[in-house]
Amino acid sequence: MSESNSAERSDGTDGQVSGATVVAQALKTQNVEYMFGIVGIPVTEIAVAAQQLGIRYVGMRNEQAACYAASAVGYLTGRPLIVIGGSSERSQETMGAFQEFPQVEACRLYSKFSARPSSIEAIPTVIEKAVRSSIYGRPGACYVDIPADFVNLQVNVNSVKYTECCMPPPVSMAETSAVYKAASVLRNAKQPLLIIGKGAAYAHAEEGIRKLVERCQLPFLPTPMGKGVIPDNHPNCVAAARSRALQFADVIVLFGARLNWILHFGLPPRYQPDVKFIQVDICAEELGNNVRPAVTLLGDINAVTKQLLEQFDKTPWQYPLESKWWKTLREKMKSNEAASKELASQKSLPMNYYTVFYHVQEQLPKDCIVVSEGANTMDIGRTVLQNYLPRHRLDAGTFGTMGVGLGFAIAAALVAKDRNPGQRVICVEGDSAFGFSGMEVETICRYNLPIVLLVVNNNGIYQGFDTATWKDILKFGDATAVAPPMCLLPNSHYEQVITAFGGKGYFVQTPKELQESLRQSLADTTKPSLINIMIEPQAMRKAQDFHWLTRSNM
């Protein structure tokens, strides 16, 4: 069946096809599988047409959450985010049309490609370019603007030519001389370190990077979404000595990791002033940001890793496991792990973060996808909750964006359902972070996605107060005048949000209640659940070697 006939039949009008169907068919031709959004004039017909052609449509409660979900699907499947936006009719431009706004121009600031097709016939070409632009080079979002009058406008079906699906991204390799130099710099390192970033996970470079680590016996450190490229429990993982490893390494290889705020810009005092960076990245513009690298390896991270392995095949080399550097890292890991375990073993109530996460970690399936957002909830959870497989952790990422959690979890659950039935998705939320997109619980229940939501509830942003203290505060006046800005209502029953929509809710205050509710939630694959976990409102992280990037006097 030709694509034009398919479009004609789905539209139901002999010889004519609507703009909505052309958009849907163009997306289908580019192998788009999922669509997330909130329908309304003028895009409702596009969603209906997409469903008729076999694209899975998920109606969200907030457009931000829809974008978060689509971006997570892109990360998990390798088909990044395309935003389709409806705009005012062409004949009403400059007249103050309903919601008139220069959408194409505005989106150019934040996307790799932004365009409005000049005609319905041009839609397939524009959508093909948007998809191609999103996956070539460094992946990123693209925007296609559809005027309202295009949606229901009919054109002759034979006038629309669909552009075949774009080819997979070309695989580029680093210069041979640069690869040789990188291997030489690494061989001469006294205190080497590999940093595995999100780019390595996206590039599916796990096999090559693990071979490199094990062949050369190098210590490695994952970034938050680089966790699982090599399992967190691998003996060469030094995540428990992160600050020490960064501060004293003399040669650092960056596999798809940016020297941004997450890695403290590569600058002292978090690093040695003369540290040598070897940067491996798909994006040329990223090379040399903040620190002049010793070697740059521009190319596909998986392909470049194989190039490095070839160098060590020709001239084998192994970093000594009994070196002073390995001894230093192991000692620091041991002391940090002991401090965390001591906090986790505390019997006092309410629980602290470490107690919660150690009990959660004991029950998590090894192949589960962990979604996480919040401040302390995300930071502490990252150090305790283990990832054993690549692309199995989704969190607030480069922009530290709160509100991503439930959208990410919905996306992960859909992909898991289609590609790995039975795989669980665990969404770990701070109570403040949950508030950004909590209404997506209804979406989760509507599509009956068996996500396990954990809300780590400390009654506030960073810190809160218990009920008695809150009542004492209110004695001094109106809450708007006397309540500290970081406070949230104590003992809020977030679990009742999910029960309102037919899911299972738990309110837990003790380790035993947490263990039992999590056991029940993981055992039940028929419906979603939310466990509202009360912790000490003033609970904090264990003592850190360095302050947060931006200090606060609070």
* Amino acid 520: pLDDT: 98
Residues 294 and 361 in one domain: no
Residues 412 and 278 in one domain: no
Is 60:401 a contact under the CB 8 Å cutoff? no
| Rounded-to-integer distance, Cα 27 and Cα 126, Å | 10
CATH at 218: 3.40.50.1220
Domain-located, residue 339: no
Q: Bridge partners of 194?
A: 220, 253
Residues 152 and 185 in one domain: no
| Rounded-to-integer distance, Cα 405 and Cα 431, Å | 12
* Amino acid 41: pLDDT: 83
Residue type at 117?
A: P
CA atoms within 13 A on the CB side of 378: 26
Residue type at 531?
A: I
| Rounded-to-integer distance, Cα 315 and Cα 414, Å | 46
Residues 528 and 426 in one domain: yes
Give the tokens for residue 364: 């998590």
Q: How far is CA 126 from the centre of its chain?
A: 27
Domain-located, residue 551: no
Residues 446 and 414 in one domain: yes
Residues 248 and 189 in one domain: yes
Residues 384 and 494 in one domain: yes
- DSSP E strands in 53-204: the ranges are 56-59, 82-87, 113-115, 142-147, 154-156, 192-196
CATH at 494: 3.40.50.970
Domain boundary among 112, 133, 159: 159
Q: Which residues contact 177 (CB under 8 A, 6 or more apart)?
A: none
| Rounded-to-integer distance, Cα 61 and Cα 91, Å | 31
Phi, psi of 414 (to 5 degrees): -65, -45
CA atoms within 13 A on the CB side of 287: 15
Domain-located, residue 545: no
Buried b (16+ CB within 10 A) or exposed e, 65-89: bbbbbbbbbbbbbebbbbbbbbbbb
Domain-located, residue 170: no
The total number of structural domains that make up the chain: 3
Residues 352 and 501 in one domain: yes
Domain-located, residue 437: yes
Residues 145 and 215 in one domain: no
Domain-located, residue 8: no
Residues 182 and 151 in one domain: no
Domain-located, residue 11: no
Domain containing 321: what range? Answer: 176-328
Angle made by CA atoms 419, 371, 208, in degrees to the nearest 5: 65
pLDDT by 10s per residue, the chain, length 554 = 223 333 333 454 579 999 999 999 999 999 999 999 999 888 899 999 999 999 999 999 999 999 999 999 999 999 989 999 999 999 999 999 998 999 999 999 999 999 999 999 999 999 999 999 999 999 999 999 999 999 999 999 999 999 999 999 999 999 999 999 999 999 999 999 999 999 999 999 999 999 999 999 999 999 999 999 999 999 999 999 999 999 999 999 999 999 999 999 999 999 999 999 999 999 999 999 999 999 999 999 999 999 999 999 999 999 999 999 999 999 999 999 999 999 999 999 999 999 999 999 999 999 999 999 999 999 999 999 999 999 999 999 888 899 999 999 999 999 999 999 999 999 999 999 999 999 999 999 999 999 999 999 999 999 999 999 999 999 999 999 999 999 999 999 999 999 999 999 999 999 999 999 999 999 999 999 999 999 999 987 666 667 656 666 66
| Rounded-to-integer distance, Cα 140 and Cα 270, Å | 30
* Nearest C-alpha neighbor of 163 from the set 118, 119, 116, 131: 131
| Rounded-to-integer distance, Cα 550 and Cα 543, Å | 17
Query: Kind and range of the H or E element at 342?
Result: helix 324-344
Domain-located, residue 206: yes
Q: How far is CA 100 from the centre of its chain?
A: 32
Q: Any idea which residue has 């810190």 for tokens?
A: 463
Residues 387 and 505 in one domain: yes
User: DSSP string covering 450-487, please?
Assistant: --EEEEEE-SEESEE--HHHHHHHHTTS-HHHHS-TTB
* Amino acid 540: pLDDT: 77
Q: How far is CA 160 from CA 6, 26, 186, 359, 548, in A?
A: 12, 10, 55, 58, 55
Is 66:83 a contact under the CB 8 Å cutoff? no
* Amino acid 39: pLDDT: 93
| Rounded-to-integer distance, Cα 300 and Cα 220, Å | 20
* Nearest C-alpha neighbor of 15 from the set 7, 24, 25, 23: 7
Residues 247 and 210 in one domain: yes
Check residue 171 and report its DSSP letter.
Answer: P
- DSSP E strands in 160-275: the ranges are 192-196, 220-222, 251-255
Domain boundary among 302, 328, 354: 328
Is 210:289 a contact under the CB 8 Å cutoff? no
Give the tokens for residue 253: 């290889």
- What angle separates helix 301-314 from helix 176-187, to the nearest 10 degrees? 60
* Amino acid 223: pLDDT: 97
pTM for the predicted model, two decimal places: 0.95
